[in-house]
Amino acid sequence: MAEKLHEANIWNPSRRGRKIQKWEGFSLSSIESRRVNIVSEKLCHDVIQRLGPSLERHRGCDLIDINPGVSMWSRALHDAVQPRRHLMLDPSAEEYEPLRKESMGDRKIEIIPKSGIMWSDLKDVMASHIDPHQRRVSPGEQPERNDTLLVTANLATFPSKRLWNFDNIATMVLYQLLSSIRSSGDFQRYGVVRMLIWVNDELKRPMLPRSILGRKRPAFAAELSCDWIHEVAGCDVPGASADRLSVRDQWVHYESAANTLRRMEEQGIVTPPGRETSMLKMVTADPSLLNQPLAGRRPPLVPRAYMAELEAMEAEGVELDDKSEQERLNQLRYRDRRDVKDSAVYLELLQLREAIFKMEPSSAEFAAAKRDFDDRLENISKNMRNEYFLIQDGYHLFRHQAAQTLLWDRRAYEPLAIDLEEFYPNAPICLLDIQPKSMDPVFRQNGPSSNRSGDYSSLMLRALFRSTTSPVYPTATDGLWPGFAEMARDHCPSLWDPALGGSPMSGHGSLKVRAMGETQWTELMKAWMRWPFRPEYLQMLGRSMDSEESDQESDQRGVAEGQTSSE
């Protein structure tokens, strides 16, 4: 199939080709000539096996298939769910027709030569092809999961194509699809609809970060709106190097992988030979890692850039003849010893914070232990203190927030490792399985006809995630609007309850914005909507617009949300 694609010259970034459609002055043909196609039957088979029983609930559904291309993946998914209707939206349907016929055979499908990522086209298709067979959610109705509709899309391009403020047009489309969950737009107007999306591998990070430093506003919004986002298949990135600058304790990575392996065993999920990730191999190679807590029990292992160099030099011999190399080796050994000592300090502080969590907050013992904790942090270097805070907040997310807050740590299975030759062109892409959920009503009130609690939430999260290291109480809450901290104190008990993901401590042990979970944010938003001194929405919007947007991801997220609002 890759050879046939090559001969057909369908993928050719330098090819102008025929003009397919224009999108506010942007030609879609420049995207189409960069589309990445799945060309491996084995990969499609392995992915369907991995999704397994979860696809059974969609048997006989309406299947919406965006950018199917050569349709190898479409055929595998079609055979798995046996849809009653299989709609293929492809602006390049004519170019792919011979290859699609070869893949799909005599399976019953309906080709629509329109784009599924151009909103005007998508609205027309939904009105004419989906509305007669699906019921729209009524305004104010709490949506329920709709298994009779399943959406799959291929948004992967190589090289990536910029659009407006986005490095990749797929980024905008992915944000659009996720923001539609909150507003019941696009496919989510028919209920809570599952989506299987192929994207460039690097695009998974904003939605599915593996560390607290990657947990920006898009990731937090995804946690609020999705039961899960699973990376079904993707590029194998070892846990220790997945986020080399993330300063995440590697024992958290190992324990997360061990938890995942247990979940896989409970579900009877087996990884095909050759599809194992490096982390899965590492955990299965050492059974001692599987059945015990690791994070917070062992000195934190923090990835260091110099470690590879040190290991290489140590492998050359105990001592080196070259004087400069020996000096370098001594420097690296000294740094390694220092980092080991720092890790021992971090472990003591983590365990002291854990012990304080178990004390009665009104007791003299609690006050004394808290003073000791703060004093110890004040008496270490600033760099050590900042590194410890990253480890502490990452540990808090993993150990104390309900169900482990990061969607990555909630994964039901390890991703299948892919081979770049399974795609044409040989570009790194991945498959995301996105299962939205019925969000709390406080996040669903959007637009002038509502109380705008959902709109408030978006504005307030944008403000909070400009300073993720601030304590939620009182700094961040008063920063939202002066005086709100007092309301939060009286109506948000989860901020201080460790069992609900909070922290009873103030000062250095307090709950930071980046370690806040869904429970805390839901309580804060409900308190905000009850607060008698809450500013008018337009007043708060004006203040937000006056604030400087320093985070590029915030800009991108705002554009995507604007696309949904304009619908």
The Cα 409–Cα 260 span in angstroms is 8
Query: Is the predicted pLDDT of residue 370 greater than 70, yes or no?
Result: yes
SS3 381: coil
**Of residues 14, 31, 35, the one with CA closest to residue 424:** 35
Q: Which of helix, strand or coil describes residue 324?
A: helix
Q: Where in the chain is the domain with CATH 3.40.50.150?
A: 2-236+415-436
Q: How confident is the model at residue 167 (pLDDT cuts 50, 70, 90)?
A: confident
Closest CA to 70 of 21, 104, 29, 31: 104
Beta bridge mates, 436: 226
Q: Residue 330: is its pLDDT beyond 90? A: no
Is residue 565 helix, strand or coil? Answer: helix
Q: What is the pLDDT of residue 363?
A: 96
pLDDT range class, residue 552, cuts 50, 70, 90? very low
More confident residue, 303 or 178: 178
> What is the pLDDT at residue 490?
94
pLDDT at position 321 is 65
Among the four given CATH numbers 3.40.50.300, 3.30.450.90, 3.30.9.10, 3.40.50.150, the one describing domain 2-236+415-436: 3.40.50.150
Q: What is the pLDDT of residue 564?
A: 42
Q: How much is the pLDDT for 355?
A: 97
Judged by average pLDDT, the poorest of 16-30, 217-231, 381-395 is 16-30
Q: How confident is the model at residue 292 (pLDDT cuts 50, 70, 90)?
A: confident
* pTM of the full structure: 0.89
Average pLDDT over residues 260-284: 92
Helix axes 307-316, 323-357, angle to 10 degrees: 130
List 228's β-bridge partners, or say none: 435
Q: What's the whole-number mean pLDDT along residues 285-308?
A: 87
299-312 pLDDT, tens per residue? 999 888 888 888 88
- Report pLDDT for 160: 81
Q: Is the peptide bond before 293 cis (omega within 30 degrees of 0)?
A: no
Confidence of residue 8 (pLDDT cuts 50, 70, 90): confident
Determine the Cα–Cα distance for residues 248 and 245; give it in Å rounded to an integer. Answer: 8
pLDDT of residue 476: 96
Q: What pLDDT does residue 551 have?
A: 46
Return the pLDDT at 27. Answer: 55
- Highest average pLDDT, of 336-340, 361-365, 536-540, comes from 361-365
Low-confidence winner among 273-277, 282-286, 339-343 (lowest mean pLDDT): 282-286
Give the per-residue pLDDT at 9: 85
> Averaged over 44-66, what is the pLDDT?
96
In the predicted model, is pLDDT for residue 393 greater than 70? yes
Place of tokens 């958290």: 252
The whole-number average pLDDT for the span 211-236 is 93
Confidence grade of residue 559 (pLDDT, cut at 50, 70, 90)? very low
* 218's tokens: 């898009």
- Residue 215 neighbours by CB under 8 Å, 6+ apart: 209, 397, 406, 514
Are 560 and 566 within 8 A, CB to CB? no
Q: Over the stretch 100-157, which tens digit does the pLDDT of each residue have?
A: 999 999 999 999 999 888 878 888 999 999 999 999 998 888 999 999 999 999 999 9
